[in-house]
Amino acid sequence: QGKLEGAIVVEKPHVKWSDVAGLEAAKEALKEAVILPIKFPHLFTGKRIPWKGILLFGPPGTGKSYLAKAVATEANNSTFFSVSSSDLVSKWLGESEKLVKNLFELARAHKPSIIFIDEIHSLCSSRSDNESESARRIKTEFLV
């Protein structure tokens, strides 16, 4: 977990919704999925359980990271984890899966929390027959 402790962003990014130009549908979805359940948890019980995750995708420079920073700012009582996919990769056998597992354990310990993984596509591309066993195990850990 020591390697991941630096992933906790102690100081909020200070990016407001109004700082994000356009992307209205994405902002509304993020408010509904992340901000409202954190601010009003009593409304999201039973059948109205909040979403477990959101995947922001698109070409570089379209505002995905900026949206994540806005979410971190707006969810003022949550812990924000910002990691790069390279932070979750290790040359040691089994270590990458352990890092992914530790990240989610750390997030649960600091809940409510938001995990932002930049460049996740490098870890979680489509499964194929010719991928390494390590890549397969990392994907499995994300799905657990």
Question: Across residues 92-108, what is the average pLDDT?
Answer: 83
Strand 8-9 to strand 79-84: parallel, antiparallel, or no bridges (unpaired)? antiparallel
Question: In angstroms, what CA-CA distances link 81 with 25, 128, 130?
Answer: 24, 29, 32
What's the mean pLDDT in 93-102?
A: 82
* pLDDT confidence of residue 60: 86
- Which pTM was predicted? 0.76
pLDDT above 90 covers a percentage of the chain that reads 14
Please say if the pLDDT value at position 108 is more than 60.
yes
Predicted local confidence at residue 11, as pLDDT: 66
Residue 107 has pLDDT above 80, yes or no: yes
- Which residues does 64 contact at the CB level (< 8 Å), separation at least 6? 56, 57, 58
Pairing of strands 79-84, 113-118: parallel
pLDDT digits (tens, 9 = 90+) for 29-80: 999 999 999 888 899 988 888 888 888 888 888 999 899 889 988 887 788 8
Q: What gap in Å lies between CA 104 and CA 66, rounded to an integer?
A: 22
Q: What's the token pair of residue 104? A: 């989610």
Q: Kindly tell me if the per-residue pLDDT of 27 is higher than 70.
A: yes
pLDDT score at 98:
86
User: Mean of the pLDDT values across residues 94-123?
Assistant: 82
Superfamily per CATH, domain 2-143: P-loop containing nucleotide triphosphate hydrolases (3.40.50.300)
Residue 89 has a pLDDT of: 76
SS3 81: strand
Return the domain boundaries, the chain.
2-143
**Looking at residues 113-128, what average pLDDT do you find?**
76
